[in-house]
Structure 1
């Protein structure tokens, strides 16, 4: 694997929050002055896709790579030809949002060799409130299925246990405890904890030695707030 790791791949099962994180992560890189391309490889979930926020992202300096126009918002697994170009372009930090579980990861497999040669981080986003990732064994099973389908290995874990606006510190603590068990069993580090911005100070105070990444919730439907 290369050493510059300018390709960041977010994977996770349905409801993990990886699309939300991908968008916020790309915007954060752009605010730091980096050239950023966000690649939407989510060919599975028609409801929470980074492509829905393409205009916002472009206005903030993030280039969004989508399937050809005739396939946007469809379930046809058409990969935009420019994906490989951005991965190979040393001027860009590339953020890749991969579809949920091993089925969605098959799209990633088309670019696995190129990504390996470029250098990458593949972060598995985990929400322990989802049935398939509620236990260490479940998380590891999902991780291995994604790795097999995508042709790349997870390099670190991301703690994103949440219930949208109902999330509190206790819930974050519970999720972190489970993910620490996964870290011990697999040897994978926990890269950071994700929290909605209003919880940042509280979580950072409780986990002073952990990196905490605050996000703004953008992809939830309005009815989810009620």
Structure 2
């Protein structure tokens, strides 16, 4: 019997104490190479359209002062999170984005790079950004403290948002599927319909969460310039 509900997210496949579940994070690379060699199909054209739309949106968010090619960082981040979120919905595939190890590594690396670049190259702009325009003099120390705290917790909120959303959907699917053992046959059909609807919702959540994480990272990056 399962003693801990969250144990379904633990890596279980190992060889000589080396966890092979984390190799699922590289499965998304299997979908990329064929698009460069085969005749473009509908799937490739659809993905190209999505990337072009994202490129234009990220370009507008980053502003005119951004470096050329910056949008490709965020498009790559979106693609990576989207592939991992979707692959986690397949049976017997380890969901790496449901762990803070992956999500915090991504968000913390981006946040640190933004902060280092901003404080080294645009330190005056970073100081100005800590005090909103029109703030009374008496409130300035408190605003600096609040802005500093909100800036520090940004990578944590990004990571927890992605992890919590992935865990919540998978837990709900697991809980419902575990109740099907003791159910009569006529209720199992109803349960399967609910599971299909939940799986459809999880597909939408996988897309939305990858988009939200990427948009927020883009906005944090635009504040640095």
For Structure 1 versus Structure 2, the TM-score category normalised by the shorter chain is under 0.3
Higher helix share: 2
Larger radius of gyration: 2
More relative contact order in 1 or in 2 (CA 8 Å, sep 6+)? Answer: 2
TM-score between both structures, scaled by the size of structure 2: 0.22
